[in-house]
Amino acid sequence: MSLLGKAGRTPAAQESGFAVHRAGVDRLLASYRAIPRDATVRLAKKTSNLFRKRAENTAAGLDVSGLTQVIAVDAQARTADVAGMTTYEDLVATTLPYGLAPMVVPQLKTITLGGAVTGLGIESTAFRNGLPHESVLEIDILTGAGDIITATPDNEHADLFRGFPNSYGTLGYSTRLKIELEPVLPYVALRHLRFHDLRELEATMEQIIADRAHAGERVDYLDGVVFTADESYLTLGRQTDEPGPVSDYTGMDIFYRSIRHDAPEPKRDRLTIGDYLWRWDTDWFWCSRAFGTQNPKIRRFWPKRYRRSSFYWKLIALDHKFDIGDKLEARKGNPPRERVVQDIEVPIERTADFLDWFLREIPIEPIWLCPLRLRETEREQGRRPWPLYPLEPERTYVNVGFWSAVPTTPGQQEGAANRAIEHQVSELDGHKSLYSDAYYGPDEFAALYGGDTYTELKQRYDPQRRLLDLYSKAVQRK
C-alpha cells in the first residue's frame, strides 16, 4: 500500500497526505491564473468517461495532475479525504485494506470521485445508499471565479453544495471531497433470479427494496440485466466472510454471460469484494464484444492488462476522432449508425412500461437495470434536495442503461433514436444523465435540469462565465 494509502494510520502520514494535496492545489491555481481572461477554462485532461463529441481544444487548461490521490482515511470515523481527480480504482484499493468502501462505487475503474459527484454515478448499492454525492460531507471547489471555497450542507456555500451534482464542471471543479465509507466483508454471494415477465421483475425489485431481503436472505447489492422481454434477471448480492471458492471473470469467462440460466431456482455464484465491485469493468459490461474480445480465439491473445474499460474507451476515442465506424459502414453501402449511449431513470412503477417501449422501438440488447432511492428525505425551503437533478425523495427509481449504436434512415432527423428516448423518458416522469448526447430545447432543458436555480448559482460562482454553461456543454457540445 502506498504512503497515502496509510494516511489514516498516523498523524504524520496524514499530514504528509495533506501536504502533497496542497502542492497539487497550488499547481491548479497557477494554471488557472495562466489562462487568458477571455478564454474558456477547461481541464487539461486527455481522457474522459463522457460520450459527448467535443470540439478539438488545444488551449492550455487546468493542471489537475496533483489531484489524483487519496489524501487520508479515518478508519474509525469511516471517512476519507480524497482529491477530486482520484479514480475509484485507486480509492477502492486504498480503502479495502481497512475493510471499508465508498457508499457507491460506479462500475468503471477510471471514473473519478469528482466526476461521479458532479456528473452522477450509480451502482448496485444505490437502492440503499443513494447516489455518490449523497455520501459527501464537504467539498473544496475551484469556482469559475478562481476561488477555492469549501461547501457543506449547512455553511454559506450550501447552495453550491446542493447544486454541484449534475453541473458537469460548469460551476467549478472539486479539489477535495470528504466522503463517508461503509464496512464491507471479503466476499459477495450472488443469486441470479430469472424472469420471463418484465412486470414480475418490476414487482420483485420493489419487494426487495422494501424488505432489503428476498426469500429470507439479506440483499446488500441489487442490479439486473434484460436480454429480451421474456429473459431478464435480477442479481442479488450478500456480503459474507465465509471462506470458499470464488469465480474469476477477468480471464476467459465473461460476467454477464454467467448470469444466464434456464433453471427455476436462482443460479448462485461468489466473488471477492474487489472482483464484485469491478465485475463490469473487464468487458465494459458487454460492450467489449464490439472489439471482438469476447471471441475466445481473440480473447486468449488479448493482453489481460488491456481487458478494461479505460482501454476500450481509447478505442472509442479513436473512432470518434477518425469516424472509423461510419467509414466501415459506408464501405458496406450502409448509412452511418446513430450512437445510443445513455443512462436514464424512470420511477420503478414505470420500468416495465419503458422497457416494453424500448425493446419494441430501439434495437439494442442487453439492457442494464439499477434501482435507486435518494438517502435525503428533507426538502430545503420547499425544494427537492438536489435541484440540478431533481429526483423525488422517498420515491424509488430505476436506472436503465443501454450502450450501442443503431441503424439510421437517410433523411431522418439527426439523433432520431436519442430524441425518441428523451421524449419517452419525459412522458414517464423520468430523467436522463448528461454524460452523452442530448437534444433538448433550451426551455425543456431548463425545466428538467435546474432552471432559475442553476442561473443563480452560475451568477454567484462564475459571474464572468469562465466555464461553459451547462446547456452549451451538454446539448450544444462546444
Sequence-distant (≥ 6) Cβ neighbours of residue 136 within 8 angstroms: 117, 161, 177, 178, 179, 180
Rounded Cα gap, residues 229 and 365, in angstroms: 11
Closest-CA residue to 87 (of 309, 272, 249): 309
Is 413 part of any domain?
Answer: no
DSSP tag of 98: G
Q: Is residue 352 part of a domain?
A: no
Cα 91 to Cα 106: distance, rounded to the nearest angstrom: 12
C-alpha cell at 41: 477554462
Q: Are residues 217 and 120 in the same domain?
A: no
Q: How far apart are the C-alpha atoms of 274 and 266, rounded to whole Å?
A: 23
- CA 419, 110, 28, 72 torsion: positive or negative? positive
The overall longest dimension of the chain from CA atoms, in Å, is: 66
Q: Which range, of 4-8, 59-63, 153-157, 441-445, averages the lowest pLDDT?
A: 4-8
Residue 97 domain flag: yes
pLDDT band at 5 (very low <50, low <70, confident <90, very high): very low
Whether residues 94 and 199 share a domain: the answer is: no
The proportion of the chain whose per-residue pLDDT surpasses 70, expressed as a percent, equals 89
pLDDT at position 363, please?
94
Picking from 279, 296, 331, the residue at the C-terminal end of a domain is: 279
124 shares its domain with 77: yes
**Torsion angle, CA of 477/83/389/320, rounded to 10 degrees?**
30
**The pLDDT value given to residue 332:** 77
108-136 per-position pLDDT tens digit: 999 999 999 999 899 999 999 999 999 99
Domain that holds residue 100: 4-183
CB 170 within 8 A of CB 458: yes
For residues 387 and 403, what is the distance between their CA atoms, to the nearest angstrom? 27
Tell me if 113 is assigned to some domain: yes
Mean pLDDT for 195-210 is 98
User: Does residue 393 carry a pLDDT above 70?
Assistant: yes
Mean pLDDT of the chain: 90
Q: Does the pLDDT value for residue 461 go beyond 50? A: yes
pLDDT of 372 above 80: yes
Q: 159-191: per-residue pLDDT in tens?
A: 999 999 999 999 999 999 999 999 999 999 999
> Is residue 93 a part of any domain in this protein?
yes
Higher pLDDT residue, 313 or 82? 82
What is the residue type of 237?
G
Domain final residue pick, 155, 183, 211: 183
Looking at 144-148, 179-183, 289-293, which range is the least confident one?
Answer: 289-293
Any domain includes 22: yes
pLDDT at 3: 31
Q: How confident is the model at residue 379 (pLDDT cuts 50, 70, 90)?
A: very low
pLDDT value for 10 = 62
Measure the CA–CA gap between 229 and 195, rounded to whole angstroms: 9
Is 19 in the same domain as 137? yes
Does 353 have pLDDT greater than 70? yes
Q: In this predicted structure, what is the pLDDT of residue 2? A: 34
Q: Are residues 70 and 179 in the same domain?
A: yes
Same domain, 100 and 176: yes
Q: Which residues contact 75 (CB under 8 A, 6 or more apart)?
A: 8, 98, 100
205 and 167 co-located in one domain: no
Q: Which amino acid is residue 403, in one-letter code?
A: W
**How many angstroms separate the CA atoms of 114 and 75, rounded?**
21
For the chain, how many structural domains are there in total? 2
374-379 mean pLDDT: 65
475 found inside a domain: no
**Is residue 111 included in any domain, yes or no?**
yes
Identify the pLDDT of residue 313: 81
pLDDT tens digit string along 419-435?
999 999 999 999 999 98
H or E stretch at 142: strand 136-143
Proportion of the chain above pLDDT 90, given as a percent = 79
Does 163 lie in the same domain as 19? Answer: yes
Residue 411: band (very low, low, confident or very high) from pLDDT cuts 50, 70, 90? confident
CATH number, residue 27: 3.30.465.10
CA distance 254 to 225: 14
Please compute the mean of the pLDDT values over residues 94-106 and round it to a whole number. Answer: 98
In terms of domains, do 147 and 198 share one? Answer: no
d(CA 417, CA 339): 9
pLDDT by residue (tens digit) across 238-247? Answer: 999 999 999 9
pLDDT in tens, 316-352: 877 767 676 666 667 777 778 899 999 999 999 999 9
Instruction: Note whether 174 and 118 are within 8 A (CB).
Output: yes
Quick one: 241 and 173 in the same domain? no
pLDDT in tens, 73-92: 999 999 999 999 999 999 99
Out of 279, 305, 323, pick the residue that ends a domain: 279
Same-domain pairing of 166 and 245: no
Do 52 and 179 fall into the same domain? yes
Q: Of 452, 398, 234, 318, which is closest to residue 326 (Cα–Cα)?
A: 318
Look at residue 52 and tell me whether its pLDDT is greater than 60. no
Strands (E), 53-212: 70-74, 79-83, 100-102, 136-143, 148-151, 172-183, 187-195
